[in-house]
Amino acid sequence: MTMSPHVSLIIPTFNERENVPVLLAQIGRALSSWRGRVEVIVVDDDSPDGTWQAAEALRPRYPWLRVVRRTSGVKGLSPAVVEGWRAAAGEVLVVMDADLQHPPEVLPRLLEACEPPDVDIVVASRYRPEGAVGKWVFWRRWLSRGASSLAQAVLPQAAHDVTDPMSGFFALRRRVVEGLALQPRGYKILLEVLGRGRYRTVREVAYTFGRRQAGQSKLTSRVMVDYLRQLASFLWEPAGFGRFMRYCLVGGSGVVVNMGVLWWLKGSGALGTLRAGTVAIELSILNNFLWNELWTFRDRSHARPGVRDRLVRLVQFHLVCGIGAVWQLGILWGLAIQWQWHYLLANLMAIVVVTLWNYGLNTTWTWTRGSSTPARSVCRPLVSAGTQ
């Protein structure tokens, strides 16, 4: 039996005066049997309807309640959440909406899923088979689905485990976001975490998206533009498509090294063609290894920086590249000789296939996803928010 972690529940609010008392009452009930410590932090953007006052008024009744009234800094849902994290004392940080669309009765399941210390993130998902979006008009359903698919294309690593990357209802361990430079913009704070956070194990629990009780949704077309901009910013992030782009660039640099060395050794008459070619291949493999270690997979090699680990990766990389070379020759032989393709076209094809093959093996084997920092750290500062 593990100890139940200390939980901080962050609730961003803007004009939710009527919902807050109902929500807090339900949260109190839902968490009454939670064995660990709990605090609930309402982070209000100085709402004109006085949501923060309504929350403050309830503090005598709920000793676990804290209220943050934001009067400066960038307004918005995500920046408010990040500020809540910074104020939080808990080891597990939960985010949920104030309008009761995220039913508090899901909380015990969410927290239970988060109890094993190795779990980094738990997402409450509307898209698991047992979950649902409730009564949504078709275009809202369609839009949300489309937006999720787009996210999954840009962040394949996260998409592997998460059916609802846009969820605003989730829990994470403090270590996932500690010290990160997040760019909290727009609505999709979970996406930001999946794109830039340090995590390994992600779980999901299913739930049914409720109906907003009072007030209005703040989701506007502005929010959607922000969303697209956020996705674009991930194109270069290692968690997303960016890793593959880096890998290809490194591969390109390897070709340059290979050709250069060959030209230099052979051209100067120092070595014959085959010997010069062998040295050129080895140097280009070393070149690629170095850049992949320091750049493409930097996040992962940082997690295992020992000399021994690096040497093991160097050997693995050689093996992958060696097998890749055999593949390349095989494909070249098949296409150019058996199928009578033009040899240059056949080689290009072989390069494409082998690059994918090498990349696949190197991301899953040579530079495996290391575990996130196992140490339980409860020190500040939590997040250095890129204010912009």
Can you give the binding site for ligand GDD, defined by CB under 6 A? 12-14, 16, 43-45, 75-77, 80, 97-99, 101, 144, 166, 168, 187-188, 217-219
Instruction: Report how many residues bind Mn ion under the rule CB under 5 A.
Output: 2
Q: Select the binding partner of residue 220 from ligand GDD, Mn ion, none (C-beta < 5 to 8 A, by kind).
A: none
Binding site partner of 38, from ligand GDD, Mn ion, none, Cβ cut-off 5-8 A by kind: none
Among positions 99, 120, 164, 192, the unique one binding Mn ion when judged by CB under 5 A = 99
Give the ranges where the chain is alpha helix by DSSP (H): 19-30, 51-57, 77-87, 107-114, 138-154, 156-159, 174-177, 189-196, 221-234, 242-267, 273-291, 298-303, 307-332, 343-361
Selection from ligand GDD, Mn ion, none that 14 binds (CB < 5 to 8 A by kind) is: ligand GDD
Report how far residue 146's alpha carbon sits from residue 167's, in angstroms, rounded to the nearest whole number. 14
Q: What residues have CB less than 8 Å from 237, skipping those under 6 apart?
A: 155, 195, 196, 243
Contact 292, 362 (CB under 8 A): yes
Which residue has tokens 């913009």?
185
Does 288 bind Mn ion (CB under 5 A)? Our answer is no
Residue closest to ligand GDD (Cβ): 168
The site partner of 162 among ligand GDD, Mn ion, none (C-beta below 5 to 8 Å per kind) is: none
- Nearer to ligand GDD (CB atom), residue 95 or residue 262: 95
Q: Backbone dihedral region of 384: left (phi > 0), alpha (psi from -120 to 50 degrees) or beta?
A: beta
Q: Which stretch binds Mn ion (CB under 5 A): 51-59, 97-105, 184-192, 339-347?
A: 97-105
Whether a cis peptide bond, with omega within 30° of 0, leads into 381 is yes
Shortest reach from residue 252's CB to ligand GDD, in Å: 38
In whole angstroms, what separates CA 19 from the centre of its chain? 31
Shortest distance, CB of residue 233 to ligand GDD, whole angstroms?
17
Closest CB 46 distance from ligand GDD, rounded Å: 9
Which parts of this chain interact with Mn ion (CB under 5 A)? 99, 101
